[in-house]
Amino acid sequence: MSPARPARTRRSLRAGLLLAAVAVVAAGLPPTVAAASPSAAAQALPATPVREAPGDDYRWSVLPSSSTGPTVRSRFEYGLKPGEEVADWLAVSNLGRKPLKINVYGTDAFNAADGGFALLPASERPKDVGAWISLPGREYTVPVGKRVDIPFKLKIPANAEPGDHIGGLIASATETTTNAEGQQVNVERRVAARVYLRVDGPVQPVALITSVDVRYDNPAVPFGGGDMTVTYRVANDGNVRFSGKARIQVRGPLGVRVAHTEMIDIPELLPDSEVRITRTLEGVFPAGRLTAEVTVNPQTTAQTLPSMSQSHSLWAVPWLIVVVLVAAAAVLVLWLWRRRRARRDDLPVTFDPIPAEAGAKTRGLVLAAVALFAVGAPAAMDPSPAEVEIQVSIGPRATPSASPSPSPSPTASPTPPANPGGDLPRTGLAIGAFVAVGAALVGGGAGLRVLARRRPT
């Protein structure tokens, strides 16, 4: 019997632990019915419209209904022709702890600046579908835990334009509250059921990108990139509502993509509405000329519309890189200039050597010129029948050097003999002068030829 008792003890222990765990889990579970957050209810209309006031004193819902009670519909949707009329029901349920006094009326819808669904304030008269709704009364009282089914009619004017007409049926309650300064103010709280009406006729969906604005924060150090803020507007110029997707791509030179966003939801845009959307792309490198392109793919409830794009360009210069490159280029140019100047100053001046044939011809011309000058000059200066000795000395050819060497020059040493017979008349003066001038011209031409061939390199 002793071995069985520890086994029963272990089983009892396990059962006790299991029951304790179940109790702990049950104690930690939330209640099955929880109240919605007041802030969340104030921001958007839920699928099942329920309005909750602080302290749960005022809570109510607005839903499509019928003569026998609410249906599975979450909103009113109609497709009618101009001049037609439809009758329907609206249910208002009091979910609070106090009797509910409400005002029920129809109004028009529009898109807020952020694209959200919004309804006209009570002080503004509707001009579209809200004005076509008629109710038997405006003020109603709903007891605690009860529901009121309110009939209404929607009559389409004969001149109604085809397309979508969006509005809502509102049940509003006015509460007296105390603000932070201790003053009592009246606050109107509204809950609505949406009304979607399409009037038969030509459907013309038109989506437009009306503007694209780009702002870039160019960083001092470009390697991490900067923030690019792209703001664009999408408008509905057609007569039917549409939604869609959008994407932003940033391209640099040669069409290289440097940044992009994921798909962006375009909210449902009502006819004659516009939405403004802003996105910030981080880490965009300043690659010079940047182009931000916005592409929108709109679609209606029945079809997908053609894609549309619009772009905006701006300059995003990486100034730090530009400054470094300019400085490097300036240093390189200065170094090359100084190197070229140093080589030019240190390089000796040389001359092209004169070919052997050209040198021989030049020497011959020089000798001929010297001979002619030697013969003609005495005759021109002092012609006499006496013999004249001519001595010509020609030095060796000079080798090229840093400075040009003078050309070989003839040296004439006339030895005037004695003239015992007296002077003769100067009959050969003109001929001698011509010979001397010709010799001078030949010699000068030969010298110029030599100088021309000795050009520096």
How many angstroms separate the CA atoms of 84 and 381, rounded? 140
Evaluate whether residue 409 is within a structural domain: no
Evaluate whether residue 6 is within a structural domain: no
Tokens at residue 328, please? 């490097």
* pLDDT at 270 (0 to 100): 96
User: Are residues 145 and 157 both part of a single domain?
Assistant: yes
User: Could you read off the pLDDT of 390-423 as tens digits, one per residue?
Assistant: 444 444 444 444 444 444 444 444 444 444 444 4
Q: Which of 41-45, 273-277, 373-377 has the lowest mean pLDDT?
A: 41-45
Rg, Å, the chain Cα set: 56
pLDDT of 173 > 50? The answer is: yes
DSSP code, position 132: G
* pLDDT at 174 (0 to 100): 86
User: Are residues 436 and 324 both part of a single domain?
Assistant: no
Number of independent structural domains in the chain: 4
Evaluate whether residue 81 is within a structural domain: yes
pLDDT of 448 > 50? The answer is: yes
How many angstroms separate the CA atoms of 277 and 267, rounded? 10
* pLDDT at 24 (0 to 100): 34
pLDDT of 214 > 60? The answer is: yes
Q: Which of 124, 123, 119, 94 is nearest to 109 (CA)?
A: 119
CATH number at residue 49: 2.60.40.10
User: Could you read off the pLDDT of 112-162 as tens digits, one per residue?
Assistant: 988 899 999 999 999 999 999 999 999 999 999 999 999 999 999 999 999
Are 269 and 296 in contact by the 8 Å Cβ rule? The answer is no
What single string gives the DSSP state of each residue in 10-30? HHHHHHHHHHHHHHHHHHHSP
pLDDT of 449 > 70? The answer is: no
User: Are residues 213 and 174 both part of a single domain?
Assistant: no
User: Are residues 288 and 300 both part of a single domain?
Assistant: yes
Name the average pLDDT for the chain: 76
Q: Which of 191-205, 347-361, 372-386 has the lowest mean pLDDT?
A: 372-386
Are 114 and 275 in contact by the 8 Å Cβ rule? The answer is yes
* pLDDT at 355 (0 to 100): 58
User: Are residues 152 and 85 both part of a single domain?
Assistant: yes
* pLDDT at 390 (0 to 100): 42
How many angstroms separate the CA atoms of 287 and 225, rounded? 9
Torsion from C-alpha of 76, 80, 84, 90, nearest 10 degrees: 0
Query: Which residues does 256 contact at the CB level (< 8 Å), separation at least 6?
Result: 287
Q: Which of 153, 282, 264 is nearest to 216 (CA)?
A: 282
* pLDDT at 406 (0 to 100): 43
User: Could you read off the pLDDT of 76-120 as tens digits, one per residue?
Assistant: 999 999 999 999 999 999 999 889 999 999 999 999 988 899 999
User: Are residues 156 and 232 both part of a single domain?
Assistant: no
* pLDDT at 278 (0 to 100): 95
Tally the residues of the chain.
457
User: Are residues 86 and 179 both part of a single domain?
Assistant: yes
Could you count the other beta carbons within 10 Å of the beta carbon of residue 73? 13
User: For 68-73, what is the mean pLDDT?
Assistant: 88
How many angstroms separate the CA atoms of 275 and 322, rounded? 40
User: Are residues 151 and 65 both part of a single domain?
Assistant: yes
Evaluate whether residue 19 is within a structural domain: no
User: Are residues 239 and 372 both part of a single domain?
Assistant: no
pLDDT tier, 246 (very low <50, low <70, confident <90, very high otherwise): very high
Evaluate whether residue 447 is within a structural domain: yes
User: Are residues 57 and 100 both part of a single domain?
Assistant: yes
Evaluate whether residue 400 is within a structural domain: no
User: For 193-218, what is the mean pLDDT?
Assistant: 95
User: Could you read off the pLDDT of 291-337 as tens digits, one per residue?
Assistant: 999 999 999 988 899 999 999 999 999 988 888 999 999 999 999 88
Evaluate whether residue 56 is within a structural domain: yes
User: Could you read off the pLDDT of 231-244 as tens digits, one per residue?
Assistant: 999 999 999 999 99
Query: Which residues does 242 contact at the CB level (< 8 Å), separation at least 6?
Result: 205, 207, 236, 268, 269, 298, 299, 300, 305
State which residues form the domain around 119: 38-199
The residue assigned the tokens 């419209």 is: 49
* pLDDT at 187 (0 to 100): 84
Residue 356, judged by CB atoms within 10 A of its CB (0-12, 13-18, 19+), counts as exposed
User: Are residues 77 and 182 both part of a single domain?
Assistant: yes
Task: Give the global pTM.
Answer: 0.59
Query: Which residues does 110 contact at the CB level (< 8 Å), separation at least 6?
Result: 118, 119, 120, 270, 273
Could you count the other beta carbons within 10 Å of the beta carbon of residue 424? 12
Evaluate whether residue 9 is within a structural domain: no
User: Are residues 312 and 323 both part of a single domain?
Assistant: no
Are 107 and 129 in contact by the 8 Å Cβ rule? The answer is no
